[in-house]
Amino acid sequence: MSWLRQIWFRFRTVFQRSRLEQEMAEEMRFHLELRKEREVAAGLTAEDARYSAHRTFGGVEQIKERCRDEQTWGWLEQGFRDARYAWRSLRQAPGFLAVAVFTLALGIGVNAVMFSLVRDHFLRPLLRDQRLNLVSVFTMPEEPARTFRFFSFTEFEAVRAERQVFSDVTATGFATVALGSVTEAKRSLIGFVAENYFSVLDVAPAAGRFFTADEARPNANVMVAVASHSYWNRIGRPSNIVGSTFRINGLEFTFVGLAPEGFGGLHNAITPEVWVPIGVAAQLAGFLGTADSRDLLHPRSYRLSLIGRLVPGLSLEAAHARLSPLAQQLNAGATASERRKIVVARPSRYNFATVQPDHPTLTEFSRRSATIALGVAGAVLLVASLNVANLLLARGANRRKEFAVRLSLGASRGRVVRQLLAEGLMLGLMGAAVGVILCAWCGASLHRWMVEIFSAGTFAFNPQPPIDLSVLGFAVATALLATLAFSLFPALRSTRLDLVSDLKRQPGSTGTAGTWNGLFSMGNALAMLQIALALALLFGAGLFVRAARAAANFNHGFRLEAGVVANIDFDFGRTPAAEIPRRQRAILQHALQIPGVQRAALASAVPYNFERHGRGVFAVGVADSDAQAAVYTAVSSDYFRTLGIAFLRGRDFTAAETSEATSHPVAIIDETLARRLFGDVDPVGRHLAMNRAEASGENPAATIEVIGVVRSPHEEVFEENAPARFYRPLGQVTATNTYLHVEPARGMAQSALIERLRRELRLIEPDNAVLLVRPLADFPRRNINSASIQMGAVLVAACASVAFALAVIGIYSVKAYAVARRTREIGIRMALGAQPGEVWRLVLVQGAQQAAIGIALGALLAVFTGRAAAHLLYRVSPNDWALLIAVSATLAAAAIAACLIPARRATKVEPVIALRCD
């Protein structure tokens, strides 16, 4: 039982503090009295006896303090006491408390937001669980530099049977489909997966079940699906999702399960909308890869990418050593050029198609983005911490007398410092609490915005919970770090006292405060550092904003303003291939008859939609012509006029060319392809070929005549050079994906036209879902790359504004405080005849000096920041001297302005009052 008593003994000090204190005091008093009586008995006078007793006893309060230390679990009881005292002391200064907590909350909140962004997009974009020992499995030609391909189902089965290397292997593929109901559907990315996909990735369903082996057998055609959590969110989180039906390409599917929140397969940030078993793959067009047939059992149907779990403890090198028998087996009967090898690699962030390591520019880009994001947030936190440190210094200077009293009463300096740190910690934690609330709020807005951006694309955005344990932990860690940064130094400084002079001090007097007015005093140094940091941040923000403006003013090479786009994809429906051209012409004819439509055209792709079909193109009759990669679009006549793409030479496609398959084959190319293929020669009248044999001119009938050259349209903000393009008339080539471009007549409202188009298309194409009807301008606006530039600018600008505001407040408070403490000195100066002008100068000159030093420092910092951010800046040079000068001037003006109010107050000092004020 003795340990129980011990625990109680120590705990009691927390709950019975006042009683124990009283008892301790009584015990000491009793001792002193007995001692005094003893001295009196020895013949001393009462007064001498008391003196002697006290002298032999020593410092009562010091002894008490040591007793208290013995009595308790020091940390527990003192922690409570420190917290209570800190709270009481902070509560007495509500203004200070509010400013400090809000300042810290801004700093910590900004950090938490940035952290959660970095966490989702750069730290954890992949499911990388060491325990799972996951690898991506690839098949590559033995002779390098050959085309990559996916696996066939037969190969998948062979790899899966390799138990020396893999404890399990699963297969997945992607398909773009029309997902939704009969009438409302969206082009979406879905995954088709083997039955063990979810178990290999170690996830359990949030509701329902995953797939069975029967459902995953090739051509099983069991129409079941698992919804991703974000798809479920988007359709309004129905509680009865399991068992509900929806349509993929018009076919009815039933949901059997719901994937857990945050799961998107190997990638965390994006996710297929739904998963279906590979047993229905034959119903779906492929998204990537080559397939002679959609039927998985066809030997050349390469549609699957494989993810394996290595047997426990097996390294990548060891796995490779064991893989050659498997390759031998798969190569049986292959010719030398067909021989392939099996390769495994850790899942890649960006490449799910090839075994090459992550593209260095992408890795570098994400590393730099993460660094910049956290660096910017860290700088804001630093500015905030400096502000609070300044506040605490000022507060500490005013509390010197309090500290002196406590020290003289027996508190050790360490004790007082700890007390001040407790106050700092309390501020930090309160700041973290408010900061997390700010973060949740900002995170929610950011999240809504990203969902909106992604809703235009085929992938679904896979939101991670904005606030989770890692974010909370990060916020608390930030708070602790900030607390150390802002409160340790002021605490040490404020408690370094000269007891005698400080005890005599009156609050607010100058006395021994020392270097408060020196140019490099602590407060001033902190203010200068703030100016420097704010300058660097503002400069960075300026660069990012300019980049965003450059991206927004990007010359697309086509008209965006009025156009409307509608999309139908015959690939998703059951229209016979031979019917498609006729149906497309009917759509175009119908659209042209809608009142308010000025022009209309069809195309097989729309800019900014990540749909690019590349082809290698040869020039006929040019010696040693190499294939030039070019983006290929099938269009109707009038396409270029509808989009406002300028003709440089030649003519548009004729109506005959757009409608008759037997017409003379023609093409229109853009200036880039013209230059690459034909140099300075006029390409109109020359011929293109789609392969080398035809390029030699052996078969003139197979070549395509160039009839026109257009200006290159840009469609990707990150691309330095627009890709080469060539266009074929829809009559001569077939395209299933059909975008109807419509230019409204003057006076026709875009929204009305969108509604009208939707209705009309449903009417004439009842069997094919209308995938979208949207303004053309929506495509670049909701393009993920353009959006990320805008988002970067908004985030950095927000951080910089916060830092700027905090820095100005910081300068103001240092100056205001200095003037308040100089009241007496200023009073004396004025009494001795100083003019207001000199007083102005007194305050302003120093302010200007500090601003100058801060700005010089900041300019250096800004140049470095600019260099570091250069890779992320879109078409903006980091050496923007005009911007640097403008930002410096803004800060200088703000710094001087922040000094004006205190300076004015200084000139209003009444000498008589000032002299009496002590």
> What's the sign of the alpha-carbon dihedral 233, 236, 237, 243?
negative
Minimum distance between the CB of residue 31 and another protein, rounded to whole angstroms?
5
Q: Scanning residues 339 to 358, which ones bind another protein (CB under 8 A)?
A: none
Residues 642 and 601 sit within 8 Å (Cβ to Cβ):
yes
Among the listed residues 69, 202, 338, 755, the single contact to another protein using CB under 8 A: 69
692-723 in b/e form (b: 16+ CB < 10 A) is eebbeeeeeebbbebbbbbbbbbbbbeeeebb
Task: Work out whether 71 is an interface residue with another protein (CB under 8 A).
Answer: yes
- Among the candidate windows 64-72, 250-258, 277-285, 339-347, which touches another protein by CB under 8 A? 64-72
Residues 460 and 394 sit within 8 Å (Cβ to Cβ):
no
Give the nearer residue to another protein in terms of CB position, either 19 or 163: 19
Number of residues that bind another protein (CB under 8 A): 26
Q: Scanning residues 81 to 110, which ones bind another protein (CB under 8 A)?
A: none
Minimum distance between the CB of residue 5 and another protein, rounded to whole angstroms?
6
Give the nearer residue to another protein in terms of CB position, either 63 or 132: 63
Give the nearer residue to another protein in terms of CB position, either 19 or 504: 19
- Report d(CA 791, CA 774) in Å as an integer: 22
Give the nearer residue to another protein in terms of CB position, either 58 or 243: 58
390 HSE (CA, 13 A, CB side): 32
- Among the candidate windows 69-77, 353-361, 459-467, 861-869, which touches another protein by CB under 8 A? 69-77
Minimum distance between the CB of residue 406 and another protein, rounded to whole angstroms?
20
Residue from 331, 494, 316, 307 nearest 416 by CA: 494
Minimum distance between the CB of residue 412 and another protein, rounded to whole angstroms?
14
Residues 491 and 424 sit within 8 Å (Cβ to Cβ):
yes
Give the nearer residue to another protein in terms of CB position, either 23 or 292: 23
Among the listed residues 41, 47, 55, 70, the single contact to another protein using CB under 8 A: 70
Residue from 657, 674, 665, 667 nearest 711 by CA: 674
Question: Where does residue 911 rank: exposed (0-12), middle (13-18), buried (19+ CB within 10 A)?
Answer: middle
- Report d(CA 559, CA 777) in Å as an integer: 9
Question: CA 291: distance to chain centroid?
Answer: 37
Residue from 114, 113, 87, 109 nearest 806 by CA: 109
Give the nearer residue to another protein in terms of CB position, either 27 or 468: 27
Q: Scanning residues 4 to 63, which ones bind another protein (CB under 8 A)?
A: 5-6, 9-10, 23, 26-28, 30-31, 34-35, 56-59, 62-63
Structure tokens, 572: 């998703």
Q: Scanning residues 563 to 592, which ones bind another protein (CB under 8 A)?
A: none
Minimum distance between the CB of residue 422 and another protein, rounded to whole angstroms?
23
Minimum distance between the CB of residue 405 and another protein, rounded to whole angstroms?
22
- Cβ neighbors of 591 (< 8 A, separation 6 or more) are 597, 600, 740, 742, 757, 760
Among the listed residues 39, 49, 72, 135, the single contact to another protein using CB under 8 A: 72
- Cβ neighbors of 832 (< 8 A, separation 6 or more) are none
- Report d(CA 859, CA 853) in Å as an integer: 10
Give the nearer residue to another protein in terms of CB position, either 67 or 207: 67
What is the amino acid identity at position 618?
F
Minimum distance between the CB of residue 30 and another protein, rounded to whole angstroms?
5
- Among the candidate windows 67-75, 319-327, 632-640, 806-814, which touches another protein by CB under 8 A? 67-75
Give the nearer residue to another protein in terms of CB position, either 31 or 871: 31
Minimum distance between the CB of residue 53 and another protein, rounded to whole angstroms?
10
Residues 729 and 706 sit within 8 Å (Cβ to Cβ):
no
Minimum distance between the CB of residue 21 and another protein, rounded to whole angstroms?
13
Among the listed residues 44, 67, 288, 896, the single contact to another protein using CB under 8 A: 67
Give the nearer residue to another protein in terms of CB position, either 77 or 743: 77
Minimum distance between the CB of residue 467 and another protein, rounded to whole angstroms?
42
Give the nearer residue to another protein in terms of CB position, either 50 or 904: 50
In DSSP terms, 304 is beta-bridged to: 151
- Report d(CA 192, CA 205) in Å as an integer: 16
Task: Work out whether 75 is an interface residue with another protein (CB under 8 A).
Answer: no
- Report d(CA 773, CA 185) in Å as an integer: 11
Q: How many CB atoms lie within 10 A of CB 163?
A: 10
- Any alpha helices (H) in 456-468, and if so which ranges? none
Task: Work out whether 610 is an interface residue with another protein (CB under 8 A).
Answer: no
Among the listed residues 15, 16, 48, 66, the single contact to another protein using CB under 8 A: 66
Q: Scanning residues 237 to 296, which ones bind another protein (CB under 8 A)?
A: none
Give the nearer residue to another protein in terms of CB position, either 71 or 801: 71
Minimum distance between the CB of residue 367 and another protein, rounded to whole angstroms?
54
- Report d(CA 297, CA 152) in Å as an integer: 8
- Among the candidate windows 65-73, 75-83, 214-222, 695-703, which touches another protein by CB under 8 A? 65-73
- Among the candidate windows 3-11, 264-272, 358-366, 374-382, which touches another protein by CB under 8 A? 3-11
Give the nearer residue to another protein in terms of CB position, either 34 or 204: 34
Structure tokens, 192: 């088709």
Pairs from 696-700 (Cβ < 8 Å, separation ≥ 24): 696/620, 697/620, 697/621
Give the nearer residue to another protein in terms of CB position, either 65 or 705: 65
Cα separation of the two ends of the chain:
61
> What's the sign of the alpha-carbon dihedral 577, 578, 579, 583?
positive
Minimum distance between the CB of residue 56 and another protein, rounded to whole angstroms?
7
Minimum distance between the CB of residue 39 and another protein, rounded to whole angstroms?
12
At residue 190, the 3 state secondary structure works out as: strand
Give the nearer residue to another protein in terms of CB position, either 3 or 763: 3
Give the nearer residue to another protein in terms of CB position, either 10 or 50: 10
The angle subtended at Cα 514 by Cα 513 and Cα 518, nearest 5°, is 125
Minimum distance between the CB of residue 830 and another protein, rounded to whole angstroms?
54
> What's the sign of the alpha-carbon dihedral 847, 851, 857, 861?
positive
Minimum distance between the CB of residue 28 and another protein, rounded to whole angstroms?
7
Give the nearer residue to another protein in terms of CB position, either 66 or 692: 66
Give the nearer residue to another protein in terms of CB position, either 65 or 358: 65
Q: Scanning residues 399 to 438, which ones bind another protein (CB under 8 A)?
A: none
- Cβ neighbors of 693 (< 8 A, separation 6 or more) are 699
Structure tokens, 312: 């426990």
- Cβ neighbors of 283 (< 8 A, separation 6 or more) are 221, 248, 249, 251, 294
Minimum distance between the CB of residue 65 and another protein, rounded to whole angstroms?
9
Residue from 72, 78, 38 nearest 56 by CA: 38
Minimum distance between the CB of residue 26 and another protein, rounded to whole angstroms?
7
Among the listed residues 3, 336, 469, 576, the single contact to another protein using CB under 8 A: 3
Minimum distance between the CB of residue 24 and another protein, rounded to whole angstroms?
8
Give the nearer residue to another protein in terms of CB position, either 34 or 444: 34
Residues near another protein (CB under 8 A):
2-3, 5-6, 9-10, 23, 26-28, 30-31, 34-35, 56-59, 62-63, 66-67, 69-72
